[in-house]
Amino acid sequence: MHHLNRAAQIFAALAGFSIIPGAAWACPACMVGDPKTAGTYLGMTLVMSSLPILLVCGLGYWLWRRYQ
């Protein structure tokens, strides 16, 4: 029973944390200016975040296929 209460407390704490990012926004500049500027920030954030993953995964997949 004690363990159950502990789990419920952890769950409640995590649920509480989950609503914070929506209010805070990790990127303070992404919501400023006109929609075009905000769109540019968002687009560049997506490009710069996804490009290294795509490049490394693409290279890894190509090498894996090559050595099959």
Q: Which residues bind other proteins (CB under 8 A)?
A: 33, 36-37, 40-41, 44, 47-48, 51-52, 55-56, 59, 63, 66-67
CA quadruple 18, 24, 28, 34: dihedral, nearest 10: 100
CA quadruple 9, 14, 19, 21: dihedral, nearest 10: 150
Find the shortest distance in angstroms from Cβ 24 to other proteins. 21
Find the shortest distance in angstroms from Cβ 15 to other proteins. 35
Whose Cβ is closer to other proteins: residue 31's or residue 51's? Answer: 51
